[in-house]
Amino acid sequence: MDEDKTPSESKLTQTKQRWAREGRFLTGRHARPETERLPPGQHLTQDWPVLDLGVTPNVNRERWRLDVYGAVETPLFWDFAQFSAQPQSTFISDIHCVTTWSRYDNQWEGLSTRALLDACRPKPDARFVSLESYDGYTTNLSLEDFSSDDALLAHTWQGTPIDRDHGGPVRVIVPHLYFWKSAKWLQRIEFREHDKPGYWEVRGYHNRGDPWEEQRYSDD
């Protein structure tokens, strides 16, 4: 991402950077067995809190575009109609936010990341994925995490289009990692040979973000 597109730091951004420096929300407990549904240090909520960098892009379905490029055999440049014409999937999964809340049983509809991989065909040297959003936000994933069996590019939540506050028209959902890895307002996906830490990762957050290992910050 170009330096001049880096989002300006909001009050929330500054607060979350302070949490990373102070190690806020760490419980000091060992990760629970995988058979337990709620990761350590999390509490359940029925709400879906809104967290972002303080900018809510005004991108509707008519204006939305997705670019998929980098280490792929077939770069993709889709509008929403082309995106919607791809095979669609429905998954039910939980949300785990690094700020300690979790929400169970969210129903998503969209394009699975595995279907996207079939369409763009990553090259053999592709090992990582960089996501960029319409607000300038970025985050990074290993190709293995990005292609997990319940990850998708979602346009619908609980049977209705995802609203702007929660990342519509299209956002990434990677349920097995903390939710900052599930980029809102998705605009670009770059397949890469080498890793490129994103917005929060260079500001003290863990490079992977596994909730069951409580990988909240870079030294966890």
- On whether the CB atoms of residues 32 and 39 are closer than 8 A, the answer is yes
DSSP state of 73: S
Residue 219 has pLDDT above 80, yes or no: no
What's the token pair of residue 140? 């990074």
pTM: 0.84
DSSP state of 212: G
Q: How far apart, in Å, do the first and last CA atoms of the chain sit? A: 26
pLDDT digit string (tens) for 7-45?
555 555 555 555 555 555 444 444 344 457 999 999 999
Predicted pLDDT at 14: 59
- On whether the CB atoms of residues 200 and 135 are closer than 8 A, the answer is no
pLDDT bucket at 1, cuts 50 / 70 / 90: very low
86-112 mean pLDDT: 97
pLDDT bucket at 189, cuts 50 / 70 / 90: very high
CA dihedral 206, 211, 214, 217 (to 10 degrees): 20
What's the token pair of residue 184? 């809102």
pLDDT bucket at 218, cuts 50 / 70 / 90: confident
Residue 56 has pLDDT above 80, yes or no: yes
Is 2 or 52 the better-scoring residue by pLDDT?
Answer: 52
Side-chain half-sphere CA neighbours of 190 within 13 A: 16
Residue 203 has pLDDT above 70, yes or no: yes
C-alpha distances out from residue 130 to 39, 67, 100, 149, Å: 26, 12, 25, 19
The full DSSP string for 128-157 is EEEEEETTS-EEEEEHHHHT-TT-EEEEEE
Predicted pLDDT at 108: 98
Predicted pLDDT at 33: 46
pLDDT digit string (tens) for 129-165?
999 999 999 999 999 999 999 999 999 999 999 999 9
